[in-house]
Amino acid sequence: MNRIVIVLLISLYIMGCVNYTEEEKARQKESIEKDKAKQIAARSSRVKEIIYDILYIKDERTNICFAYHYDGQGPALATVQCENIPSEMLIIP
């Protein structure tokens, strides 16, 4: 019984040690790079959407400007330098 288990374990080990050819390695690397490029493109598209949805608001009481964004998960707010915001993009309530 022990010999059968040992033979099976050795067989599984040998089968698991696959030696890929250079061509197969190149194909796998190319596939991985294509997947990465797709992920980056998808993220870039989402980032652009977020950037165009940002509202820039100036609080007249404090003269502090905020970048405000709301998506389906909730609001996000950050302070920004007022000088860096074009006047046509700035909302002053």
pLDDT digits (tens, 9 = 90+) for 45-82: 888 888 889 999 999 999 999 999 998 788 999 999 99
For the stretch 13-38, pLDDT in tens is: 776 666 667 788 888 888 888 888 88
Site of tokens 């690397």: 29
- Say if residue 1's pLDDT is above 70: no
- pTM for this entry: 0.53
Angle (CA) 80-88-90 rounded to 5° is 35
What pLDDT band is residue 92 in, cutting at 50, 70 and 90?
A: confident
Q: Give the pLDDT of residue 80.
A: 95
Burial grade of 57 (CB within 10 A; 0-12, 13-18, 19 or more)? middle
Phi, psi of 56 (to 5 degrees): -105, 120
3-class SS of residue 85: coil
Domain boundaries of the chain, sorted by first residue: 22-53, 54-93
Of 6-10, 11-15, 37-41, 51-55, which gets the smallest average pLDDT? 11-15
Q: Give the pLDDT of residue 65.
A: 96
Take residue 13 and report the two structure tokens written for it: 């080990």
Look up residue 61 and give its DSSP letter. Answer: T
Take residue 50 and report the two structure tokens written for it: 């977020």
